[in-house]
Amino acid sequence: MSLTSLSVSELCTLSRKKEVKAEEIVLSFLNKIQEQEKKVSAFLLVLQEQALARAREIDQKREKGKLAGIPVAIKDNILTRGIRTTCASRILENFIPPYSATVVEKLEEEDAILIGKTNMDEFAMGSSTENSAFLVTKNPWDLRRVPGGSSGGSAAAVAAEEVPASLGSDTGGSVRQPAAFCGVVGLKPTYSRVSRYGLVAFASSLDQIGPLARTVEDCALLTQVIAGQDGKDSTLSSLPVPDYLKEMKEGLKPIKAAYLKGEFIEDIDPEVRQIYLNVLGLLEEMGAELLQIDFPSWEYALACYYLIAPSEASSNLARYDGVRYGFRHPSSDSLKEMYLSTRTKGFGQEVKRRILLGTFALSSGYYDAYYLKAAKTRRLICQEFEQALQKVDFVLTPTTPEPAFLIGAKEDPIAMYLSDVFTVTANLAGIPSISIPVGLTKQNLPVGLQVMANYFQESLLFKLAFLLEKKVKFRKN
C-alpha cells in the first residue's frame, strides 16, 4: 500500500516503530503532488526543498513530536513566517509574513512538516474556490466540479491524497462545506477553542481555524495539537484541552439528537435528503433517540450571516489601502486616487461585493435597519441552540443542500450563498460542528452529515462521528 493512502495515525505508527523515515513520507507526498496538481490545482505554493530539509532534521532527532514527519498543508490565509501568504488575492500577492500563526507553531512543535499553502476563495469569501485570484481548484472526485470553499484547496489536497491532513478556516462553513464536497472529515471547533492569532481576518466574531483529514481519528489528533491557550489571542478560552483521542474511543452513552423539521429539507437535492434520512435511520438502529425540534430563527440565519460577515469584513479589509503593505497601484496622482485604484485592481469581484454590502449595512441611517436587526437575530439563534442542546446531545443536518456542483454553474451570487444554509448557524452561535462523509450519489459524489454539539463538546462530536464512520464505512472508489 502506498504511503499516501495511509492516515495520519497510520503514518505516525510507522514512524514511531522506525519502519519509515520522515524523508520517505515527505517524498511520497511530494511525488503525489507532482502527479495530481496538473489536474486538481489545490496548491498555490509547494515547499519542496524546505519540507525535505525539515524531514531530514526530524529523522536526526532523538525525541520526536506527536506528528513527526507528517506533511500538513496550510490554507493561504494562515500566516507562515518567511513564506508567502496571499489569501488568494492580488492585493497580497507578494506578502511575506514576519511571524507564523499559533496553529502553525503548534504543528511544528510536534514535528509536523509544512508542505505547502493551499488555494482558497479570495480572503475566504466564497463557497467554491472559484474566487481565487490565481487559479480554480477542481474536485478530485469529478474534475468538472468545484471542491467547495473557501477551504477548497485544503479539502481537495486531502481528498487527492496529496497530504494526509490540512488546516482551513471556517467563517460560515468554509471547512465543513468543502469537506462534504470532497468526501473528507472537517471540524469547526467551538469559537475560542483554537487561537486565531495569525489568521488573516475575514469576520472576526465568526472565524475559526479547523482541521481537514480523511478520518475522524486524524481530525481529533490535529485538534488536540492546535487547540489551547497561546497568550496572544485575547478571545481564547482558558478551559483545558481534553484528550480527544482517548475520550473518542471510550464509547458513547445512549444519545438524544435533534433533526430539522420537514420544510427545512424539502427543497434540497433528493439524493442528499435520502442519504440524510438513511443516516437518521441508522442512528435509531444504534439506539439513538431522535427528536424533532423547532428552530424558528433558522430561516433567517443566512440573511443574518450575510449582513454580519460582510460588515465585519468591510472593517477588517479597510487596512488594505496600498499604504502600509501589500499591492499599491503605481499610477496615482493623489492619495484618494491611490486608495481607489489600489483597491479596485487589488480586490476581486466577490470581495468588492461584500465590502460594499457591509459598508452599506453599517452606514448611518441603515445600521438599525440591517446590522442591528442581524445582531438581534443572531442572539435568538444562540438562544434556540442553547435551549435545544439542553434537551439533546446533538443537532443533525445535511452539511450542504446538494453535492458538488459544476464549475461555473452558480454565476448568481445568491445561489452560491445558499450553499451555506446549513452551516452558518454553528458560526453564528459559536458552537462546534463536524462534517463527515456518509454516502455517495448515483454520480459518485460524496454527501456529508453535519453534527453540532454544545460549546466545548468536541469530544462528544468525535465520539459520535467515530461511531458513524465505522458504521457507514465510507470509502472513495
Q: How far apart are CA 391 and CA 317, in angstroms?
A: 40
**Among 75, 106, 117, 410, the one annotated catalytic:** 75
- Residue ranges per structural domain of the chain: 3-250+460-472
Pick from 307, 431, 420, 312: which is nearest to 372 by CA? 307
Whether residue 364 has pLDDT greater than 90? no
pLDDT at 139: 98
**Among 128, 150, 169, 311, the one annotated catalytic:** 150
Q: How far apart are CA 152 and CA 137, in angstroms?
A: 7
Report angle CA 47, 48, 53 to the nearest 5 degrees.
Answer: 100
Read off the C-alpha cell for 305. Answer: 450571516
Question: Among this protein's residues, is 75 annotated catalytic?
Answer: yes
Look up residue 142 and give its amino acid.
D
pLDDT at 211: 98
Question: Among this protein's residues, is 433 annotated catalytic?
Answer: no
Read off the C-alpha cell for 327. Answer: 499591492
Neighbours of 195 (CB within 10 A): 24
Question: Among this protein's residues, is 174 annotated catalytic?
Answer: yes
Render pLDDT for 159-217 as a digit per residue (tens, 0 to 9).
999 999 999 999 999 999 999 999 999 999 999 999 999 999 999 999 999 999 999 99
- Specify whether the CB–CB gap between 101 and 80 falls below 8 A: yes
Whether residue 477 has pLDDT greater than 70? no
**Among 174, 192, 195, 314, the one annotated catalytic:** 174
> What's the distance, CA 176 to chain centroid?
6
Q: What is the mean pLDDT of residues 20-30?
A: 97
Strand order in the sheet with 43-46: 43-46, 113-118, 71-75, 165-169, 209-213, 185-188, 433-440, 446-452, 394-398, 256-259, 289-292
Q: What is the mean pLDDT of residues 71-91?
A: 98
CATH number given to 3-250+460-472: 3.90.1300.10
Neighbours of 194 (CB within 10 A): 30
Q: How far apart are CA 411 and CA 409, in angstroms?
A: 6
pLDDT band at 1 (very low <50, low <70, confident <90, very high): low
Q: How far apart are CA 22 and CA 3, in angstroms?
A: 11
Q: What is the mean pLDDT of residues 65-72?
A: 97
pTM recorded for the entire structure? 0.96
pLDDT at 261: 77
- Specify whether the CB–CB gap between 198 and 226 falls below 8 A: no
Residue bearing cell 490535529: 222
User: What is the dihedral sign for C-alpha 208, 210, 216, 218?
Assistant: negative
- Taken as a whole, the chain contains a residue count of 477
Whether residue 260 has pLDDT greater than 90? no
Residue 148 DSSP SS3? coil
Render pLDDT for 406-420 as a digit per residue (tens, 0 to 9).
999 998 999 999 999
Render pLDDT for 300-356 as a digit per residue (tens, 0 to 9).
999 999 999 999 999 999 999 888 878 888 877 888 888 889 999 999 999 999 999
- Specify whether the CB–CB gap between 185 and 179 falls below 8 A: yes
pLDDT at 407: 98
Burial 40-69 (b: 16+ CB within 10 A, else e): bbbbbbbbeeebbebbeebbeeeebbbbbb
Residue 353: burial class (beta carbons within 10 Å; 0-12, 13-18, 19+):
middle
